[in-house]
Structure 1
Amino acid sequence: MTARICAAVVKAGDKFRHNMSDIAEDLRRNSRCLVWEDARYARALQQFELRQRENPEIFAGVDGNGEARRFTADQIRNGPIRDPEQNIVGVHFPIHPAEGTGSMTFTPEGWAAVHKDYFRAVLAPGGKKWIPGRRRYAAEWAKQNPEDPDPELVFSSGHGDEEGYGIQIDTRASGASDATWTTLFVDGRDFSRILASNKHFQQAARNKPTAQLIQFSCLTGSSRVATEMAQGLHSVGIRFRVWSPTDLHMVSPLKVRDETGGITIVDHGVAMKVDASGNPIAPAWAVSEASRGA
């Protein structure tokens, strides 16, 4: 089933991309302004949003039965990720009711931790539940410039694996008042387009040309999925260095719901294989960077 879904994702994406050249160029122009020319961003974004309303970008994905679905940005279930001061620093794409309907917000402790290190996720006795281990590891993105204690970060959170990303879209019948959420799988290239056109991601990325994008999406760094996503962003001018977990990623403690239905992030970590001394055998995070000529 997984292999069929993966093939369907690729097929569906290729089928719908060929007629998207005009919209892709609009997105490319908007994204250049988004990252590189912040003074012109508001006007460019207003014009882009008008074009989106008149001719919404079409995305492609497949459902759990392998059926291709077309959808627009306003159908996608998403919410902002906020820092402790309530600034928008990213976007999350929940697919389970327990993941909340509001913002995903870092506590001051969680915000400080994500800028410098993370814990190793380990299986609890019985092997059915992941919990934080005791040892912490320096964050790879913090190592890029050890003299900077507060690297500029943007976040994307959502379910993923080595074959793609999971999102939910609203497929309610015409006239229905309540949302009907359908889970879809999208490939890395389509996920990059979803990110680039998302209002929360745009706000988080505004005026941050040197930011690093941290993906809270399990296993996406273990294959070409994250690389294809990063290349998609780079192709529209968003040249972030992208970090993606090569194994399971978790936030800790267990996701705490606040009064708005959101999630509080106190800490985060990844599963990893280590040697007898506790040192990683393989990288816990994979990185994708824009080429100098891109």
Structure 2
Amino acid sequence: MQLADGRGVQFALDNEGHVVRFDPETAERTALGDSLEDWAQDPDVRGARAFATRWQDRHGALAHDQRLIPLSFFTLGGTYEDDNLAVKEAAQCMRIRGPLAQTLYSLPDGATFEMSSTPPPSDPELLSHHELEVFADYSTLLIQDDDARLGEPEPAWFEALAADWINTAPGLVGIGAGRPFDVPVTVAVRRTPPPDDDVQLQQADHVTQASLALPSGRLLISMQDFGDELPRIRLTPGTYAVRVYSNGLHTMSEDGLDGEDCYHVVLWPTDEDHPAKVLRRYPEPLPGG
């Protein structure tokens, strides 16, 4: 049995018949009573009734499949004021809050994390979307499992990376970048591969693809930097295909220090082995070499 109040907080009976409260922003469970009868003794559970009555008086009743969701999450300091609340379909509210709960679940208080934005409703296959600024040391980046380490590969490993902007080692995928500075990187995690008529594939300057084993369930994008302050993206442990769309390469300055290059990384779970390869090659010499 499971119920929810207008704010999307879930109430359920556990295996022993105790009533528990499930917070969709943190995935924390809080015991509220030894039985459904105990819980029902409070006519205003955690202020839910008063809150719902106030909203209904001002804005009208919610439909049975609607919930209120904060524009700024309650867990991150958002308020219960009307201007911080929006009405959305109940399942969509859980999809929006899910990436936050996944991120916060195992983090200690005060830890730094990368926030996920809301997946566009027009793309139901998109699980989460992340926007990063990543330091591309030596014009390269590593997309890797948090526990993987590159070590000291042979010079040929970096030569292949420079030539194709793609190479792999256990637990990581190396990609090229146009500048040895902070570069914008967006990460999209999908349930399924990009569609066959992948418009981004046709429009990007350079596109590469490879497989990545992610046993830790923590994705890190950096260049041999593992500081606690760097954001980790939480994913279900497993193997993923990684496709990288490089754009804006034609904007690079002659000295390779300025440009509007950007990088879009798409991951989806796979059972197949995807060897490192170029799907679309930049027609000119790749910058940053």
TM-score range with shorter-chain normalisation?
A: under 0.3
RCO comparison, higher one (Cα < 8 Å, 6+): 1
Bigger fraction of residues in strand: 2
Structure showing greater radius of gyration is 2
* TM, length-normalised to structure 2: 0.23
* TM, length-normalised to structure 1: 0.22
Bigger fraction of residues in helix: 1
